[in-house]
Amino acid sequence: MGDCFCYIYGTVIVIWFAALTLSLYGGLVAIFNHGIHLRGIALLCNTVLCTSVLFVISDAGQRVCQEMGTNFCGALYALRLGANKEVKQELNFFRYDVAMNPPVISLGGYATVNRNFLLSNARELFDKYDANADGRISLFELRNLITSENYAQDLPDGAVHRILKRADTDQNGYLDYPEFKQMIESPDWQITIQEAVRHYIQYTVPRRPVISVDTVDTGDGASGDLVYEDQYSFWPPPLGMLIISIAEIATFLTDLCNADTMMADGPVATKLLFTPYKRYEAWRFVTYMFVHVGVIHLVVNLLVQLLLGIPLEMVHHWWRVLIVYIAGVVAGSLATSVTDPYTRLAGASGGVYAVLLAHIATIVMNWSEMKWAAYQLLILLVLIIADVGTAIHDRYFTDREQSIGYTSHIAGALAGLLVGINVLRNLRVKSWEKKVWWISISVYILLMLGAIAWNIFYDDYFPKP
């Protein structure tokens, strides 16, 4: 059933992404043609239509899968599988996470059911780990459950994770039976999706700590610390990098369809890219990030934004990652204008390198806590070397007027270190770290103010329009 939901949501999200891209394309066509026509209106309607379809299909899919699970549980009960006469009732709230531990029973590709899990009973489990028989499970007793040799036969990892994170609804340090039962009745599709995301993020981003760690009285003479939580979240939704990526694709497609060019010289690109001859159009210091020279240039930036940027947004929230990204974009254009004043600038490399270097700093600072840290670092370094090498080659060894300035890569990376050092780190905040953060942000601001002043007061340094 979890796979069914992943398929439903994955398919609809892909359709919605494509529709939104087409909608932005229609809007850009309308804007740059100075009017609204039927094609633009039709494309703009796609977003509303597909967003509505997203909610309709999601709700319908959930109802179908729930009904399918209920029917299957009824069939098992009718066949009297297992020794427990209340198998049907137990399956209804156990089925969400039974695929965690073999041996398993296949449900025709929709899910699998653990045999031991089918025969277990919620009340028996509760009483088993309620060591002092007071009708409540303390967090100390729950820790004994987790560290016991046979706990995996009773509760899967996903269930234990949910107990620790959410089950203590009244936050009194204990789980009573209603809280325990409510926890194991949660829908299976939420666990399936969250587990997949959690594993990907654990291999990509080190965890941030909870703000405080409290000690609780277990009621039996022992005490224990509350555990750290995984600090990723779907809310607020990680839309920053997604929206920027859609805008970049829409800009690229608009020029490709209307001017049949991929070399940043179409009608949209010429209004957005940074050029030293139009420095008075201040928006170009930022909007150049939407313009790309060629498919490879676009795809590389999109891969980093989506595969790295979105996990970072889920851990640190989208606005923090966006701050680092925009800081890199602005640093890239200002640095290029000062150090390479005759070069045009296109692409999101300044922002991408800001996020990349901020993340690399996070990997180095938390090396022992990262999974596959060495492989991550190696892959990122290879990507950076190849991209910067290509940019340098295009700058000095090609005749293209729209060659990409490599200075933005370096400036964006520096901005990522200076601005992202606090935003994307996950260590406990220490006094010296606060001082480093203030020094870093002060250096960034001074460098940006210096570059802005250079652009304003040294006009003779730059080419004339």
Cβ atoms of residues 76 and 87 within 8 Å: yes
Q: Which of 170, 174, 162 is nearest to 136 (CA)?
A: 174
Q: Cα separation of 396 and 408, whole Å?
A: 15
Phi, psi of 443 (to 5 degrees): -65, -45
Q: Annotated catalytic, 148?
A: no
* Cβ neighbours, 10 Å, residue 210: 12
Point out the catalytic residue in the list 138, 333, 349, 408: 349
Q: Is 176 helix (H, G, I), strand (E, B) or coil?
A: strand
Contacts of 348 (CB under 8 A, 6+ apart): 244, 248, 289, 290, 292, 301, 305, 329
Contact 156, 97 (CB under 8 A): yes
Question: Judging by beta carbons within 10 Å of its beta carbon (0-12, 13-18, 19+), is residue 81 exposed, middle or buried?
Answer: middle
Structure tokens, 205:
């981003």
409 annotated active-site: yes
Q: What angle do CA 126, 129, 133 make, to 5 degrees?
A: 85
Question: Catalytic residue among 292, 297, 316, 409, which?
Answer: 409
Tell me how many helices (H) and strands (E) the chain has. 19, 6
C-alpha to C-alpha distances, 436 to 36, 376, 430, 431, 442, nearest whole angstrom: 52, 26, 10, 9, 10
CA 153 to chain centre: 33
| 58 class by beta-carbon count within 10 Å (0-12 exposed, 13-18 middle, 19+ buried) | middle
Catalytic annotation, residues: 349, 409
